[in-house]
Amino acid sequence: MKQMKVSVVISTYGMERIEDTHEGIDSVISEAGDGTEIVVVVDRNPSLTSDLEKRYGSKIRIIVSDRKGLSHARNLGTEAASGDIVAFIDDDAVAGRDWVKSMINGFSKDSRVGALTGPIEPHWLGREARWFPRDLYWIVSCSYMEYENGEEIPTVIGTNMAFRKETLVRLGGFSDRLGAVQKWKLKDGTWVQSCGVTGEERDICQRLMESGGKIVFSKGMTVKHKVHPFRLTMRNILNRAYWEGFSKAMLMEKYKKGSEGMPLLSLESDYLMRLLGAIPRFRPKDGASSRVRGIATIGFVLIGVLIGYAAYPIIGGRYR
């Protein structure tokens, strides 16, 4: 049986964290065997494009995005990919050992598997945030749920995911209505990318499951995701919480009618209950102050999610 070919798509947007981007691409190159393709989609940044061309040459293929938006960039990468499998990893994440091998094994075992994901471990840049509850790790795009190897799951996290290319094409790719981005300017003058309307991964996973496909967790498909200090500021946490609630409401409106089984809706309601349950469950090792801070953060996140959820019916018309 012919081994499946993998195309790895990395979307990137600026020079602000070029060292992270280099480390991420280098990690994929070290994991990529013969025949693995690396496609880097650059968000209209000539300096970044030039830097990557000089550093990597023919080791990567660069696509310049014609407009903003993470979903659009991913769709461009998918279109350019020549592999049977299209894998996605964030530009500030580092692929673990056997990352590519694990996804090939996962897809080869079962033809019904349309998507794979794996553990996303935080790499704290600075002191480890023990006060930050694991149930909130989605805010920093890391794994917040525990799964067994080979377990069928309802969705993926975009930091570390892979699809059969024919599945992505058949489903029409990622929704351009989702995966929008904003940029913030920090006090030191650095621009960082933040979120807007999210949920593009959950949306395509819902469509995949409705078409009869499976999403499976592969423990060997591990990445480490860098967590910069700004991601743990209350500003970023509340922003993520608001857009999470807004996006949940948008997706629930889309799928509340005509979806068989509606696994996505169950996932969203179950998660809110899990978050409430995290309050008595959270007991960090380094004392009461961390517990108070963590529980307060959970409370603020719940409020932010609910405000975003309530805002969608009022201001969400332009997203419909």
- C-alpha 269/C-alpha 154 separation (Å) is 13
| Phi, psi for residue 312 in degrees, rounded to 5 | -60, -45
More confident residue, 274 or 143: 143
Residue 276 confidence (pLDDT)? 72
Q: Per-residue confidence at 153, pLDDT binned at 50, 70, 90?
A: very high
**Which CA distances in Å does 101 have to 4, 6, 23, 46?**
10, 10, 20, 33
- Dump pLDDT digits (tens) for 169-226: 999 999 887 776 545 444 555 544 555 778 899 999 999 999 999 999 999 999 999 9
Residue 171 confidence (pLDDT)? 96
- C-alpha 244/C-alpha 152 separation (Å) is 23
CB of 179 closer than 8 Å to CB of 49: no
- C-alpha 119/C-alpha 104 separation (Å) is 16
More confident residue, 93 or 291: 93
Residue 1 confidence (pLDDT)? 62
DSSP annotation string for the chain = -PPPPEEEEEEE--STTHHHHHHHHHHHHHH--TT-EEEEEE-S-HHHHHHHHHHHGGGSEEEE-SS--HHHHHHHHHHH--SSEEEEE-TTEEE-TTHHHHHHHHHHH-TTEEEEE--EEEEESSS--TTS-GGGGGGGTS--S---TT-B-S---TTEEEEEHHHHHHHTSS-TTS--EEEEE-TTS-EEEEESS--HHHHHHHHHHHTT-EEEE-TT--EEEEE-GGGGSHHHHHHHHHHHHHHHHHHHHHHSSS-SS-HHHHHHHHHHHHHHHHHHH---TT-HHHHHHHHHHHHHHHHHHHHHHHHHHHHGGGG-
**Which CA distances in Å does 93 have to 43, 88, 291, 299?**
18, 10, 28, 28
24, pLDDT greater than 90: yes
313, pLDDT greater than 80: yes
Q: Per-residue confidence at 262, pLDDT binned at 50, 70, 90?
A: low
125, pLDDT greater than 50: yes
CA 98 and chain centroid, separation? 20
Q: In terms of DSSP bridges, do strands 160-164 and 85-89 run parallel, antiparallel, or are they unpaired?
A: antiparallel
More confident residue, 226 or 271: 226
Residue 185 confidence (pLDDT)? 46
Mean of the pLDDT values across residues 108-120? 96
Residue 42 bridge partners (DSSP): 12, 64
Residue 314 confidence (pLDDT)? 83
pTM of the model: 0.89
- C-alpha 291/C-alpha 306 separation (Å) is 23
DSSP annotation string for 49-103 = HHHHHHHHGGGSEEEE-SS--HHHHHHHHHHH--SSEEEEE-TTEEE-TTHHHHH
- C-alpha 208/C-alpha 129 separation (Å) is 35
Q: Is domain 6-231 classified as CATH 1.20.120.420?
A: no
Mean of the pLDDT values across residues 104-130? 94
